[in-house]
Amino acid sequence: MIIVTGGAGFIGSRLIHGLNARGITDILVVDHLGKNDKYKNLIGLVYNDYLDRQEFIEALDGEQIESEIEAIFHLGACSATTELDAAFLMDNNYRYSQLLSRYAAENQIRFIYASSAATYGDGDEGYSDQGDLLKYKPLNPYGFSKYAFDLWAEAQGYLEEQVGLKFFNVYGPNERHKGDMRSVISKSYDQIVQSGQVRLFKSHKEGFKDGEQLRDFVYVADVVEVMLYFMDQPDLGGIYNLGTGEARSFKDLVLATFSAMGKPAHIEYFDMPEHLRGRYQYFTQADMSKLKATGYKKSFTRLEDGVKDYVQNYLAKGN
């Protein structure tokens, strides 16, 4: 059996889709569905069972999971960079991850978990997954919760066998339930449909023009390929970046969205709210050399190609 926490979420549901494409259906989905439309991400997927997050924790504590577990993909977390309740994030992201990581280590189960590029902070120390984890300074409580777990897993020696993936800016189908935390592509698509234009933050940092803030945007299909690669390579451990290795601007992203929709480009720039300015990353770019050194050879989807596929084959069809 394979366990996917956060299995009804954006990346988790696409991972289950990827597992199903391999013919794998003995999957336990763990999530907390709440009151949004996240449940729709599970429609059409094949899995063995579903447990709420709290039911799952109780089942582990009571040793009630009887199936042999091959792997745990731990993607369940609050990923809102605007969430300011650090106590909640440490319980939901840090403590929960500790529980599963320790369980996997004690039972010799493959454990692959979601870290985040938010752990790198403003980028002054670079974006290398081969450096000293302590030198990075996250800009928000979410980034700190992921940073704290990375440090804990390293201190336990678990990263010799377990894998943490520092997701950069992931986009693609099944993210609409995330509301304001969904990708700029998804939000731009809706704005174009409604008004024919897109609004982007102005720059408040010297050296960056409006709309020229840079991110490493990675298509979710590529993210799934990397996660499955690590499932197939049980001898690999450690923390790895998961981006494309190429930073692109938000303006590039929006122009690609207009193009995929066959619409003329109209962009309006507006002031970034004051409360975000001190926690905003102006540049992210994954150093992908560590992943490549393991023998991973698949190329990453070009931004314009990923946006076109997402817009035309998913967003335009209501997905």
Same domain, 176 and 86: no
pLDDT (tens digit, 0 to 9) for every residue of the chain, 319 residues total?
A: 999 999 999 999 999 999 999 999 999 999 999 888 999 999 999 999 999 999 999 998 877 787 799 999 999 988 888 888 999 999 999 999 999 999 999 999 999 999 999 999 888 899 999 989 999 999 899 999 999 999 999 999 999 999 999 999 999 999 999 988 899 999 999 999 999 999 999 999 999 999 999 999 999 999 999 999 999 999 999 999 999 999 999 999 999 999 999 999 999 999 999 888 877 889 999 999 999 999 999 999 999 999 999 999 999 998 7
Same domain, 118 and 205: no
Query: Does 103 qualify as catalytic in the annotation?
Result: no
The total domain count for the chain is 2
Burial annotation 251-263 (CB, 10 A radius, 16+ → b, else e): bbbbbbbbebbee
Q: Is 170 annotated in some ligand binding site? A: yes
Same domain, 237 and 291: yes
Question: Which position among 94, 96, 127, 142 bears the catalytic label?
Answer: 142
- pLDDT for 319 equals 79
- pLDDT for 61 equals 83
Same domain, 99 and 111: yes
Q: Is 158 annotated in some ligand binding site? A: no
- pLDDT for 279 equals 76
Query: Does 135 qualify as catalytic in the annotation?
Result: no
Q: Is 111 annotated in some ligand binding site? A: no
Q: Is 76 annotated in some ligand binding site? A: yes
- If you search the block for the tokens 């817009």, which residue do you land on? 311
Q: Is 146 annotated in some ligand binding site? A: yes
- pLDDT for 65 equals 81
Same domain, 123 and 187: no
Same domain, 155 and 16: yes
Same domain, 239 and 133: yes
pLDDT tens profile 43-72 = 999 999 999 999 999 998 877 787 799 999
**pTM score, whole prediction:** 0.95
What count of other Cβ atoms lies within 10 Å of the Cβ of residue 304? 16
Same domain, 114 and 240: yes
- pLDDT for 35 equals 84
SS3 sequence of 157-225: CHHHCCEEEEECEEECCCCHHHHHHCCHHHHHHHHHHHHCCEEEECCCCCCCCCCCCEECEEEHHHHHH
Q: Is 78 annotated in some ligand binding site? A: yes
Same domain, 223 and 153: yes
- The number of angstroms, rounded, from the C-alpha of 179 to the middle of its chain's C-alpha atoms is 15
Same domain, 227 and 202: no
DSSP symbol at 91: I
- pLDDT for 131 equals 86
CATH number of the domain at 157, please: 3.40.50.720
Same domain, 180 and 275: yes
Q: Is 280 annotated in some ligand binding site? A: yes
Same domain, 91 and 7: yes
Question: Which position among 178, 296, 308, 314 bears the catalytic label?
Answer: 178
Per the structure, the complete domain to which residue 192 belongs is given by 171-214+247-284+305-317
CATH number of the domain at 273, please: 3.90.25.10
